Structure formats: C-alpha cells, structure tokens
Amino acid sequence: MSNSQTNQEENALEEALSPIVDKLINKNYESNKERMTSQIAPLLGSAIREQIKSQKDDVVDALYPVLGNMISRYVTKTLEETLNSINAQIQNGLSYKTLKRKVKAKLKGVSETELLLSENANPNIQAVFLIHKETGVTLSRAHNPNHHVSEPEMLAAMMTAIRSFVNDWVSQDGKDHELGEIDYSGNKIIIEASSYSYLAVIVEGASYNSTYDRIRGVLGDIVSKYGESVKKFDGDLTQFPNAEVYKELSSLLINEEEIHKAKTHPLMYVVPLVFLSWASFSVYKNYLNDALRDKANEVLYKTTQLTSYRLTANAVDGVITLSGEVPFAYHKRLARKLVEKLESANKVDNQIIVAPSLEDPMRISSNIAYLISGLNSQKGVNLTYDYDYETLVVKGEVWDEARKNRVMQVITQAITLKNMQNAVIIKPPELHKSVCFERGSTKLTPSAQSRLIETILLLKRLDESLLINVTSYSDQIGEKKQNKKLSNDRIQNVTNYLREQGDVSNEFVTAVSQSSPEGVNPSLEPQKARCVIISYEKKVNR
C-alpha cells in the first residue's frame, strides 16, 4: 500500500466522521454543560498563567480593550463628577466667591483650577463615634442626616475588636502600636485614641492635617471635660453625659468649608473696612494729639519755675488739659500762658489745682529729689539733701557764691517748707596751673600763654571775690638776687597777662619763693622748677 492511498483513506474517513463528531460534541456540551465547565475551569487558571508567562504582550493586547475601557470609564466618571462640580462653580459667574478665589489664586501664585480642585476635595466628616476602649460600647455618636449608619453598636464593637487585634498581634517588638485609620473606597475611618476611649470618625474624601487637628481637638476637649465619666463608665448609659458629648461630636460634622464660609460672609468685609478707616483716622488724630501733648509737656518741663511740680498736659482735638498741683496761683497762670502760645492749641482747659501746702511727705520728698537732680545737672552744682518731715537740709558743694544763692532761691521757690537749712559748701574747682619759663627769661612762652588762657576761662565761671595766689619758684641756679628779680618780673608778667588779656578782676596775692615747687627736684628738672603757680588762696570760704 502506498502512502498516498493511506492519506486518501484518512481524508475520506475524516470527511465522513466530522459532521457526526461535531454533532456529538454539541450534544454532549448541551447535556453536560455543568460537568464540562467544572472540568475545564481548573485548567483555565493555569492556562492563563502559562500564557501570561510566555506571551505576556499578547495577553496584554488581548485584554487591553476590555480593561482599558473599564479603567477609562471609571476615571472618566470620577473626572466627570469633579468637572461638573467645577463647571457649576465657574458658571456661578462673577459671584463674590469667584472674585475672592481669583484674588486668592493671584496672591498664592497657583492656578484657579488648582484652588477649585482643593475646594472640591474638601473632607466631609460623615459620622463620629465616641467608643469605650475596652468594652467597645458606643458612648455617644453623631452623624450627618444623609449618612446613616445602620448598626452603630456593631460598628463600634467591630472597630474595637480590630483595634485590639492590631494593637496586640501586630506589635511584636513590645512597642505600642495604634491603629490610625481604615481606608475603604475613597472613604476612611480615622481613629484617635485617648486612654479610656477613642474617636472613630468616618471621613468622605481627602483628609488634611487640619481634619486630624480638629479631631484631636475635640477628643482633647471631651477627655478634659468628661474624662472622669468615661473612665467610670460601667455599662450604664444613663450615667453618661451624652447630651454634652453629643454637642462636642456634632461640632466635627460642620464642614470645614462651611466654617470658612461662615467666617467670610461679604458683610464681614465691610466691618473691617469701616473699622480700618476709623482706625487710620484715629491714628492720624492720635498723632496730632500726641505731637501737641509732647510740645506742651516739654514747655512745662523746661520752665524752671514749674519743673518741680511735674505738671502734665493732655491734648484731645486741639484742647489741652492741664493737670497737677502747684503752691501758688502764679504757677497756674504761668502754665496756662506758656501752653496757650503753642501752635495748634485751640483751647486750654486748666485743671491745675492750687494747693498752698503740699503736705504729703512722700510727695514732698519725691519733689525734692526731682528738683535736686535737675539742679545737679548744671555745671558746678553737686547737691545732696536730708529730708526729715518738715525739715530739709540742703548739703553738697557748689563752685561759687552766685551758684549757691541761685540754687537756694530755686529750692525755696519750689518747695514750701517751714524748716529749711542751707549747708551748702562753696568749693571752687581745682586750680593749680604751673606756668614755666626759659632759663634767665621772663617772657611768656606760647605754652605758658595757653595755660593762662585756661586759667582765665575757669575764673570767668567763678566768683570774682576769690583770692588768687600767684607764687613764683626758682631753679636755684645762679645768684639769689638775680633769681628774685626774675621771679618778681615773671609774677608781674603773669598777673598783667591775666588782667589785660583775660579781664580778670580778682585780687591777687603774690609771693616769691626761694625754693622749688613741692615735689620737684631742681637739679633733675630745672625747667619745671622755674615757674609761677596759680592757685586759690587757701581759705576761700567766706
């Protein structure tokens, strides 16, 4: 038999049998559908797995139209919802809110769409449960009217069980683990625990830090206010302050956006605007008032007759109000006169009280202290005082008689006391000028002249009654007679210079000394020994 014959027979057989086999398979499939499915099913899984392993791209290509459609449909739907909501907001047109958003976008430097997206993703707290940690009993709960939880007790108990499970089974390193949140299809349950209770908060949409902060805040409030009730909870719900806690929980249900809205009602902008303009007006007015007040106070302070009474001036809209106490009506009138002269002072309300005797020792004492410190700021005055009630002893030093008289006059004018003692000492400032000469010369050198000018300047500030000592010393070189003559001439030159150049009218006491000045060794420093020393007469006290 040839090969071709065999082939022919096979073909013939196939042609004859195939309709019958087809019919058989169809029939078998119809009658044993379930059996066939169950037989093929296990194979399908491995077949797909095998196919993916070897022909990954083929499978992806094959599935792409289905999966792609599915995914794109899902994404489209989600986007559509977001877009619808955004469109609605845009269509609101140039509402106040849109305007605000536009400004906000400009200020923040982000696009308006971004802001819109974040507005749309605002978290929405749907329900809040306060749950007893150990028993899982719902102590209190609040939910949005459109978000009904069918079995709140079951949810609370299950959450507690899950928490217990996670806290115990997950923690293997001995550290405390706490279940934070459970996510499910875009929503989540945020769990915030305290020691005896925890909050389970069902949130729809994204949650932000502010959401967690609010939850923590509410739990903190509940724990601080009702922590004891939670701790003591024994199963009896009537003993639990449900109404109060419910109020706390409900505060979480208010949308963050609504809180925001409530804060920024358009009217709320008018109020700050009015306030702002009022504030700036009053700041300006205050500035004017302050300037006037400062000027008035300065004038009162700088007038010596009034300094010690520390009068105060206040200015409101150009009206100056004077207050304080003075001993005589003269002071009151003086104060008014001074202030009236000021520019922009429209009116003076003189409320100064004339009190002939300021009898409060504390006041007197502080007045004295104030006055003395003022006087001490002048050159050549260095006063101290003893004040025992009714008796004031003024002590210290002044440079000269004129100063002493002036100071005492001011004190007696300013402070009216029965007993006033004057123990002020006149002590002129140090004067010990040494004017040196060249050997054998009586001529005033430039440096000697500058010394003399210094002396003149000092004497000008002092009393003319001071006696001035002018003593000439010698280097003890050469003849005594010659030296004495030189000394006399030198004194003459010095006193002449003082009188003619400095117009000094003090009386001079001149003396010629054969020796050298104190502390100068003539053999070592002869140039220092040839000098005239100007000082005060030893006893200058009157």
Partner 1 sequence: MIAYKVVMVGDFGVGKTSLVRRFVDNSFSEDYLSTIGVSISKKSLGNSTVMLWDIEGDTEFKPIFKQYLLGAKGFIIVADVTRKNSLESIQKHIELCHSIVSGAPICVALNKSDAPHAISEETIKSLKSLSPSIVEVLKTSAKNGDAVLEIFYMLDKNVSQTIKNRS
Interacting residues toward partner 1 by CB under 8 A = 132-138, 151, 153-154, 157-158, 161, 164-165, 167-169, 234-239
Helix (H, G, I), strand (E, B) or coil at 382: strand
Of 210 and 239, the one with the shorter C-beta distance to partner 1 is 239
Supply the minimum distance, in Å, between the C-beta of residue 201 and partner 1. 20
For residues 504 and 476, the answer to whether their CB atoms sit within 8 Å is no
Helix (H, G, I), strand (E, B) or coil at 538: coil
Of 20 and 243, the one with the shorter C-beta distance to partner 1 is 243
Of 155 and 520, the one with the shorter C-beta distance to partner 1 is 155
Supply the minimum distance, in Å, between the C-beta of residue 138 and partner 1. 7
Give the residue among 256, 134, 141 at the shortest CA–CA distance from 201: 141
Amino acid symbol at 138: T
Of 35 and 148, the one with the shorter C-beta distance to partner 1 is 148
Of 140 and 308, the one with the shorter C-beta distance to partner 1 is 140
Of 212 and 246, the one with the shorter C-beta distance to partner 1 is 246
* Cα 535 from Cα 469, distance rounded (Å): 5
* Cα 518 from Cα 101, distance rounded (Å): 93
* Cα 39 from Cα 172, distance rounded (Å): 45
Supply the minimum distance, in Å, between the C-beta of residue 232 and partner 1. 9
For residues 147 and 128, the answer to whether their CB atoms sit within 8 Å is no
Task: List CB contacts of 426: < 8 A, sequence separation 6 or more.
Answer: 397, 398, 399, 400, 401, 403, 404, 463, 540, 541, 542
Supply the minimum distance, in Å, between the C-beta of residue 190 and partner 1. 21
* Cα 197 from Cα 177, distance rounded (Å): 16
Structure tokens at 397: 């030093």
Of 223 and 477, the one with the shorter C-beta distance to partner 1 is 223
Supply the minimum distance, in Å, between the C-beta of residue 235 and partner 1. 4
Helix (H, G, I), strand (E, B) or coil at 272: helix
* Cα 416 from Cα 411, distance rounded (Å): 9
Supply the minimum distance, in Å, between the C-beta of residue 168 and partner 1. 5
Supply the minimum distance, in Å, between the C-beta of residue 163 and partner 1. 9
